Each structure stands twice: as structure tokens, then as C-alpha cells.
Amino acid sequence: MGDNGLVSTESSDRRSKQPAKRTTSAGRSARRAPRPARRPGNAAAAEAPANVSRSARVPSAPPAVTRAAATTDLPEDRYLNRELSWLDFNARVLAIAEDRSQPVLERAKFLAIFASNLDEFYMVRVAGLKRREETGLSVRSADGLTPHEQLVRISARNQDLVEKLSRVFLDELLPELEAHGIRILSWADLQAPDQAKLTRYFEDHIFPVLTPLAVDPAHPFPYISGLSLNLAVTVADPDAGIKRFARVKVPDNVPRLIRIESERETERATFLPLEELIAAHLGKLFPGMRVAEHHIFRVTRNADLEVEEDRDEDLLQAMERELARRRFGPPVRLEVTDTMSETMLELLLRELEVDQHDVVEVKGLLDLSCLFQLERLQRPDLKESPFVPATHPAFAEGQTSKSIFATLREGDVLVHHPYDSFSTSVQRFIEQAAADPHVLAIKQTLYRTSGDSPIVNALIDAAEAGKQVVALVELKARFDEQANIQWARTLERAGVHVVYGLVGLKTHCKTALVVRQEGSTIRRYCHLGTGNYNPKTARIYEDLGLLTASPEIGADLTDLFNVLTGYARHGEYRRILVSPQGIRNGIVERVEAETERARRGLPCGIRMKVNSLVDEQIIDALYRASLAGVPVKVVVRGICSLKAGVEGLSENIEVRSILGRFLEHSRVFHFVGIDEHWIGSADMMHRNLDRRIETQVRVTDPKLTAQLDTMLDSALHPSTRCWVLNAKGDWEASPRSGEQVRDHQVEMLRLHGAKVS
């Protein structure tokens, strides 16, 4: 997935739990926080994108050294806050939903992505900050803010974004959908025949599964599960005149948006939100009582897991225990409709023990991730044109009779998903290895994969065929823990050697090693990638993968798997960098090499593409490179704590962000002066560099480095649609209106020959 402030001082005192005060419909002031104030490439090796200058990858003389380069000190205020930067990223996702040049169902999808992103942000990042605040940990962020100060600013920024989200949904998206025959209506907007039809649906399918829960001296306030949609209801006894509170959970095992027409209808579609249907029939749930009021609310809970691996002998059992506890994490956000009464709000705040600053008011529908449902509509006229990934030329027609192993003996192959097909490259590699009688062993890491994974099935087939198969299944892959536990058990039952990695570290690297008997010799074939072994996400995530028979890389992966599965300790590798320690040190050393070249007046330059750039040591190395005159160009999808274009600090650094149809997920590094290209699984974040097993591999074949250069040239072209980070820390759309604009992802589709219908 499309992962923006900033200076005022807030009190670090604990926030008091006071009843919220009523203000205008735009929000309640008591809950609103105050606003703070790329060796020259072989030109014949790869075709350059149209209109892309090749001069970008020819090292030029470095810019003049700034006067500040002589000092060893960097300013204290040199970082942007990572949490606010994440919110800026989600604001860019929202900006795509605002873009009227996008097909309307694509706009709806980006609203759903925005909402889903925000849920995870609260469940993990905000939850972590609240835990630090509540335990009294006053550890400040890199930009100097306490947890409390960050929470205050997050609250203010988030409320602004949610209000913008509502405006885009209500004022822009709904009218445009209706103009194309797609309507999301309320109960009152429906015609009588449709209401009668839905009443029958309610009685047959919804009513039997509903359980109204009363709150009184004999019935305590019910547990509200995280991310569930609920109706808070007040009912009155007409005889005794007593009002009571009740909660009705909206079932999550039926569609949230109920379609009125037949699914065969393609030209029009009318939907009613499920909560509207339930609200219209509350009388059936409380016969003999009068429904005085009802409101929709939603609670987000802390979903971060803390597994005491040094204490637990069986990590799988420990994960299962913690997954059970996740349901009962403390609340970190309460979403309510802007029409909720003060009395009802105060009751929820009190019973849920939610701070008033953690309330988010929403106008319109709560939880717009339900808009993902609209993707199933058969309206190709309202979506991006479908595409068919190209089969990489090395594996294309005419090559199908040749095994992948024979192809790799001729040279390395670099695949670029989703433009190059995953199924005819990486998946085929594993499947051929499983079926090949000469293959002795397959070793692979699995972080996230699909529910019907052909990769896992191939590993099972290989084990059943008597091959030695090792699968490192990362049980701690956030929000995929349960699926990975099931995969681990399935693989174990098939005879696969399943390991869970190293204590205290997540195994996030994307690596596969195939050991094959070829005559009297053993040859190793490898895949190292930037993305998961998941054929479904490989169609929407932009990622790179290196397929190789390099003896050096084969030896490296052999050493790495021995570390992961046994007690081996290995520090030095040949063609790869491995975290912890290895990647940060390797990147910093290469940045410093470019810095030294600049000081000596030699050609230099750094180009990198990452998901996030947060690590202070790497950022500081880039600042020093910039001060020495090294031109640094960064493409970052999500979080960026580096300040770009700041006088006396980062004049030579340009940071841009590309969001679009595909989620920019690859990590690529080009050190121009020393002429090295690297790809890998790690982002420049503490968790990747310190608490995960990650790999970066050096790409050396000139044909493949030219391919990487072409990609970077396109992403960094002045006319490429993107956002640029300015010296103030704000993201600006680029190019400006009226200027020539090119789409990087469309250009990649064209270059790779993917078929777009």
C-alpha cells in the first residue's frame, strides 16, 4: 500500500477524562487538539522510457560543497515526526480519491484503503504511544516530542483528515456514483417495495443472528470487540418511564452493503448499509419498548502483540495465546457519528474508559473500508483497464521447453512485478524445483502468502516426493499470524521441516534456495526478492526479484539458512547484506564512499527507492553526503523523517513519493560513483535494521543494472506524477497543473509489454 505539521509545545500532563463539550457539527472542541503551530549504464542494454533523459545515471561532477559541510554537528531539529509523516502518506492516498481524473470505482477503492490504513495505524502506532504514555515512559521521538505531544498532534491531524474524508465521500463520490447508476441510500430514501423486500431479508437472514444486550444492574456493559460496528440504543419503558441502554452488534459475517437488485444486474446497483436495515427494525428486537434513540459507534483496540519468546519454549503456542489476548486490548479510538447525543457519548466514554481526545467524529458512514465491496461490481467502464502481466523474455514462448534451471545457468534474471508475471517466473521456479527429480532440497522463507498458495502446495509436493524441504514460517507477521500458524501445521503434517526463525527477531527476508544434483556436482539456484511469495499481491504490489545460479549467492543463502535453522553465527557474506547490523552498516559505508568521492571532486550520486525512511543513522549519513555535495534522490512511498531541500543541511537531497494503481513496494539502492546496485526486503527503519532478518543483494549483470536504472530514471523523471517534499516538510503535487505529466506505472506497463485491455 498507497504508508504529512509541526512545531508547538504541548503540556505533557496526562489527559483528564472529562465529559465532552458540545460544539458545532464540524467537531467537538473538547476533543479537538489545538493545531501546532544512480557507473554510467550501457546505453544499449535497456531501452529508456520515452522522454526520459539518460543523463540522470551518468555521474556528473558533484555540486559545490556547502559551507556547513565542514562542521561535524547536525542541527537537533533535523527530523520529521514519523507518525505525522505517516498521516501525510495517508493524506496522499486520500488525494488520489479526490482526483476526478480517476475512474469513480478506483476513487472509492482509495477511500477504502485510506480507512483501512487508518485502522491499522491506530491499532499499532497509536496504541504503542498510548502504552508508553500510560506507563510513564517519557522517551521522546527523534524530533523531540513526548508520547503525549505526539498523541495530541495525531488527534488534531486525524480529525482534519476524517472530516475531509467525509466531505469527499458525501459531496463528491456519492453524487458521481449515482450519476453512473450506483447508489448508497438510507432507509428513508427507499421506495416502499424495496423496503418490503428488505424487511423480508431482515427477518430471514439478519434478525436470527442479532443479540441485543441490555445494560442494567443485572447486565453489565458488554465487551465491545475491536473494529466491530455497533448500535448504541436507548429504549424507554412506556409504563415505568425508565430509559435503558442496549447495544446491538452489527454482524460481520454478512455483507455490510446490502444490494437490492439482482447480482445479474450490471447497469445499476442500489445498496443499503446493514446498520440502516437493523436500525429500521429495532422495534422487533425490543417489543413492548419505545426506541428513544440510536447511534452508530466503533471501537479500535490495541492489536500489537508482545510475545515473551525467551520465556516460551513453543513459539507457536505463545502466538496462539497472544492472538487470543489481542481481542481484549485496551481501546485506543472511539468513532461516533456526528449526530450522537452528549448523553450517549458520555455513557460510552465512561463505560469504555476512552479518553475524550480519542473520540473521532464522522459525518456519514463509519468504516468506509466497506467500499471495497464495490470492486465486485461488473462495471469495467468505471475501473482501471485490466492488464495481463507479461511473461519475462527469459521464460517466454520458445523458452518453455527449457527448464528455469537451464535458463539461469545462462545468466541471472531480474523480474519486475506486477509488470512481469509472478506465476511464470517465481512460482514456476518453485513448482519446477518441486517436480524435478534432480532437486535434492528446497529452503524458503514465508512471511505472507495467499490463502490458496501454490507456493506452499509446491513445497508440500516436494516433501511428499522425498525432497528435503525447509520452510521458515514467520508466525509474527502482523495480522497474518493466524494464517501462518495454520500454514505451519499444514506443512509439518506433509513432512516439511518448519522453523519459526530466531528468538527476538522477525524473519522478513524473501529468499528461496534450491539445491540440485547435476552430474557429479551440486548447483544452487536462488531467488531473492523485495516482496512476499504471494501470487495475489504480486498483481498489485510493485516488487523486484533476482533469480540466479550465482555460486556466491548460493553460498550466501546456504550460510543464511544455517543461521536461521540452526545455531550458526555468520557475519560475513559475499553478495548479500543481512540485518541486523549488516544492512545499516553496508548502506552507511556506501553513502560515505559517495561522500568521500564528492570531497575529492569525483563523480558521485545516490538514488534510492524505499517504502519508508526513518533510521536516523542513515538519514544523518545522507545529510553529510548532501553537505559534501552528493546529489541524493529518494523515492519514498510512505514515511519519511528526512527533511529535504533545507538550506545548510539538505540542499542536494530531493524526496518524492509515487502512489498509484500499484503499491510501490520495491527497495532499490544505486550508489552512482562506486557503481553498485542493490535490491532487498528492508526499509530504512529501526525494526527492519535492528529487529528483523532482512537481505539486500547486489545486482551485477550490466543488463540487469540497466533495467534498474531505467526504472529509477522513470520514477525520477521531472514529468512523472508524484508528490515532492519541500523544505517546510509539506508534500506538494508535481508537476504543477498545466505542465506535462507522465505516469511512471503506465510507462512500466508499456516497457514490459504487459497487455492492457
Quickly tell me which residue has 529487529 as its cell: 691
Q: Please name the amino acid found at residue 563.
A: V
Nearest to 497 by CA among 554, 580, 565, 562: 565
H helix and E strand count, the chain: 20, 29
Please tell me which residue in 295, 392, 508, 670 is annotated as part of the active site: 508
E-strand stretches of 66-107: none
Which element (helix H / strand E) includes 422? none
What end-to-end distance do the CA atoms of the chain give, in Å?
Answer: 24
**Cβ atoms of 510 and 535 closer than 8 Å:** no
Nearest to 233 by CA among 245, 241, 221: 245
Cα distances (angstroms) measured from residue 195 to each of 52, 198, 277, 292, 678? 58, 5, 9, 22, 60
**Rounded Cα distance, 104 and 180, in Å:** 9
Grid coordinates in use for 20? 465532552
| Number of other residues whose CB lies within 10 A of the CB of residue 369 | 18
Three-class DSSP category at 233: strand
Q: Quick one: three-class SS letters along 656-684? A: EECCCCCEECCEEEEECCCCEEEEECCCE
**Rounded Cα distance, 706 and 424, in Å:** 22
Grid coordinates in use for 644? 529535504
Which element (helix H / strand E) includes 609? strand 606-610
Which element (helix H / strand E) includes 137? none
Cα distances (angstroms) measured from residue 97 to each of 105, 223, 240, 451, 674? 9, 35, 51, 29, 41
**Rounded Cα distance, 232 and 246, in Å:** 6
Phi/psi for 107 (5° steps) reads: -65, -40
**Rounded Cα distance, 5 and 616, in Å:** 19
User: Is 593 buried (19+), middle (13-18) or exposed (0-12) by CB count in 10 A?
Assistant: middle
| Number of other residues whose CB lies within 10 A of the CB of residue 648 | 13
| 508 annotated active-site | yes
**Rounded Cα distance, 47 and 54, in Å:** 10
**Cβ atoms of 5 and 84 closer than 8 Å:** yes
Which residues are known to be catalytic?
Answer: 508
